[in-house]
């Protein structure tokens, strides 16, 4: 990364850093806001935060990697969280995950080449009575079958082609 790119990142981080300038223990909120702004925490973003906070990049990385909420690679426009809790597992979530992998050509934790979808298997979405479930961009889809989920994905694909939201 060149100096201009780093300066651009620092400029984009300034409002976040200014908001927490006099707040002790604000590293986690800073990281949360940076992730929301950039979509994930790149090495460059963490270096810029470290530089601005006068901390070592390894300290920033150590905090960020401790928490599961932080991402270090870009995620897709549509994040699919597939529940693997007990009720969903018994209800067939493994077959849903297999269908997702086949249809999208990616595995858990990966993003499609076009950046449209990411798959994240999660321990529980808290909707056990609606099992099996998945969540896409915060919307929960319940009592799923592979066919239902495939049709839902098709809606997202079509909406993207038209520049619309689902």
How far, in Å, CA of 106 to CA of 14, rounded?
Answer: 36
Q: Tell whether the model's pLDDT for residue 3 goes beyond 90.
A: no
pLDDT tier, 69 (very low <50, low <70, confident <90, very high otherwise)? confident
Strand, coil or helix: what is 119?
strand
Per residue in 12-31, pLDDT (tens digit) is 999 999 999 888 889 999 99
pLDDT of residue 107 exceeding 80, the answer is yes
> Residue 68 has what pLDDT?
78
Collapsing DSSP to helix, strand or coil, 111 comes out as: strand
Distance CA 9, CA 1 (A): 11
Which pLDDT does position 127 carry in this prediction?
A: 93
Average pLDDT over residues 56-82: 92
Please determine, for residue 71, whether its predicted confidence score (pLDDT) is greater than 70. yes
Residue linked to tokens 């426009």: 77
pLDDT, position 73: 87
In the predicted structure, residue 1 carries a pLDDT above the cut 80: no
Structural domain boundaries in the chain = 3-66, 78-162
Characterize the bridge pairing of strands 117-122 and 139-141.
unpaired
111 phi, psi to nearest 5 deg: -125, 140
- Provide the pLDDT confidence category of residue 2 given band limits of 50, 70 and 90: confident
> For residue 129, is pLDDT > 90?
yes
> What's the CA gap between 107 and 125, in Å, rounded?
19
| Chain mean pLDDT for the chain | 94
Q: Does domain 78-162 have CATH number 3.30.2020.30?
A: no
What is the share, in percent, of the chain residues with pLDDT greater than 90?
86
Per cent of the chain over pLDDT 70 is 99
Mean predicted confidence (pLDDT) in 139-160: 97
CA dist 96 to 17, 37, 44, 84, 109, Å? 41, 31, 36, 10, 15
- In the chain, alpha helices (H): 3-19, 27-38, 43-53, 57-66, 86-91, 93-104, 146-162
Could you tell me the two tokens for 125?
Answer: 């979405």
């Amino acid at each position: 990364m060149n100096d201009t790119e780093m300066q651009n990142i620092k400029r984009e981080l300034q409002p976040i850093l200014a908001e927490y300038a006099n707040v002790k223990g604000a590293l986690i909120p800073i990281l949360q806001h940076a992730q929301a702004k950039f979509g994930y925490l790149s090495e460059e973003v963490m270096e810029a935060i470290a530089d601005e906070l006068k901390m070592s990049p390894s300290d920033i990385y150590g905090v960020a990697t401790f928490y599961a909420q932080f991402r270090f690679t870009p995620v897709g426009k549509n994040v699919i969280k597939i529940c693997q809790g007990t009720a969903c597992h018994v209800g067939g979530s493994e077959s849903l995950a297999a269908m997702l992998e086949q249809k999208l050509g990616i595995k858990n934790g990966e993003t499609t080449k076009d950046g449209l979808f990411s798959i994240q298997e999660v321990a529980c979405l808290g909707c056990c009575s609606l099992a099996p479930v998945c969540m896409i961009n915060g919307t929960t889809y319940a009592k799923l079958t592979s066919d239902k989920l495939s049709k839902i994905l098709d809606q997202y694909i079509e909406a993207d082609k038209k520049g619309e939201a689902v």
